[in-house]
Structure 1
Amino acid sequence: MNVHTAARIVPLHENDPRSQDPVLEELVDFVGYRPNALLTMARKPGVVPALLKLLGVTLRGDGLLTEPLRFLVAAEAARGARCRYTTTHLVHAAHHLGIGWDKLAALPSYLDDPRYTGQERKALAIATAGGTLPVREPAQAIGQARQVFTEEEVVEIVSCVAMVGWFNRWNGLMGSVLEPVPSEALAHVPWLKNLEV
């Protein structure tokens, strides 16, 4: 297990004017903490508000699919990329939205676990296919999803997977250090500890 205790580039202090943005404050209100990754991104003006706007369109707020399902899809995509920081954040957010720890702990076996519905399995299969590069059997995953989802819903699922790609690469390169609040997920979802940092 690759463990590090310091980010490769230090996040801005939360009181730094560059880290002050209304969109970031809304996210902090939602998750209950200030993500280190975003405090590092804030070093490049414009990135945080643009990224959080895209996050709001893909994962949060109104959508054809429920927010919990979108975060579950995102967590599976991040799990496929083996990014512990991103995956832990998404698992924590999914729990915050009402998905039980037991169901989140069973995510690696969603194909066979009775806690997952057939519809959830088809959405998660897209996340599994797109969680790595090159993508694995996308035609099969999307073809099966189209049995239960409209084309617009499939686009929404893919947008969740694609959104996670930014975070996986950012956090993998920067070595973002996990904060105490989302770290609580590690005690409930054992497979998170097996992911790369």
Structure 2
Amino acid sequence: MPFIEPLKIDATDEAQADIAWLASATGFTANSMLTLSYRPEIAKAVLDLIRAVVRTPDGTVDPALRWMVAHVTSLSNGCSYCSAHTFKNGADNGVPQDKLDAIWDFETSDLFSSAERVALRIAMTGGQCPSYATPEDMAELRTYFSDAQVVEIGAVIALFGFNNRWNALMATDVEPEVTDFLEERKYKGAKEARTTD
């Protein structure tokens, strides 16, 4: 049960159009945005970041990789809400099911390229404690990605750092549309994924 009950969509006033835009991209209205709408300027700012970081057609990092980075960040942070969303968004943006199922094994699974491995390693570190990212890992990231792409990957990690903390703190309920999607795919949640060998 959430600590703050989400507003109804017709009560979101100033942020309503932005929330509707996100719902048109995901297929559901996000409880996190309905809760943030108690402060519409914050909801709008977060939605602007979502639009610029993970929902932009102008990104130079493949959308599938962006969502895998978001998913690993959320898993490593232990955010059940965001890991559920990023699993669904990954599937909706071209990440194959077997890759999503094996994402916690990205370091050893043949499903992942060397470029993906280093990006996901940075995502894991960034989700836990960004200052633990090693200079060696950051240098390796730059062997596969341009400076603009490194910024884009870092922005995904930072955006979900906010989202993970917000939704875990507020105990945001996962929407039925997302829950149904996860059940169909036998998804392991963030806590289970972190403890499974």
For normalisation by structure 2, the TM-score amounts to: 0.90
Q: Is the 8 A contact 2:15 2:40 kept in 1?
A: no
Cα distance, 1:148–1:37 mapped onto 2, change above 3 Å: same
What's 1:78 paired with? 74
Q: Quick check: 1:28 aligned with 2:23?
A: yes
- The CA deviation at 1:19 is 7.0
Does residue 173 of structure 1 match 2:165?
no
In 1, Cα distance between equivalents of 2:191 and 2:128: 19
Residues matched between the structures, number: 191
Task: Find out whether 1:14 has 2:14 as its counterpart.
Answer: no
Q: Is the 8 A contact 1:129 1:141 kept in 2?
A: no
Pick one of 62, 65, 68 that aligns with 1:66: 62
- Corresponding letter in the other structure for 1:52: L
Deviation at 1:193, TM superposition (A): 5.5
List 4+ stretches of structure 1 deviating above 3 A.
17-20
1:21 deviates by: 2.3
CA distance in 2, matches of 1:15, 1:178: 20
* 1:56 to partner: Cα distance: 1.2
CA distance in 1, matches of 2:172, 2:63: 25
In 2, Cα distance between the equivalents of 1:134 and 1:123?
A: 13
Greater share of helix residues, 1 or 2?
Answer: 2
Q: Which residue of 2 aligns with 1:101?
A: 97
- Cα distance in 2 for partners of 1:19, 1:176 equals 21
Question: Relative to structure 1, is the Cα distance of residues 150 and 120 closer, same or farther in structure 2, using a 3 angstrom cutoff?
Answer: same
CA contact (8 A) 1:122 1:144 kept: yes
Q: Contact 2:73/2:127 (CA < 8 Å) preserved in 1?
A: yes
Q: Which amino acid aligns with 2:9?
A: E
Amino acid at match of 2:119: A
The answer (yes or no) to whether the contact 2:3–2:171 under 8 Å persists in 1 is yes
- Give identity over the alignment, percent: 28
The question of whether the paired residues in 1 share the 8 Å contact of 2:4 and 2:35 is answered with yes
Counterpart amino acid of 2:53? T
Q: What displacement does 1:134 show?
A: 5.5
Query: Is 1:140 matched up with 2:127?
Result: no
Rate the CA distance shift 1:17–1:79 in 2: closer, same or farther, 3 A: closer
Instruction: Give the alignment's TM-score, normalised by structure 1.
Output: 0.90
Letter in 1 for 2:115: Q
Instruction: Give yes or no for contact 1:12–1:19 (8 Å, CA) kept in 2.
Output: no
Name structure 1 gaps, 5 residues minimum. 1-5
Match of 2:187 in 1: 189
8 Å CA contact retained: 2:70, 2:156: yes
Q: Distance in 2 between matches of 1:68 and 1:152?
A: 17
Q: What amino acid does structure 2 have at the position aligned with 1:185? A: L
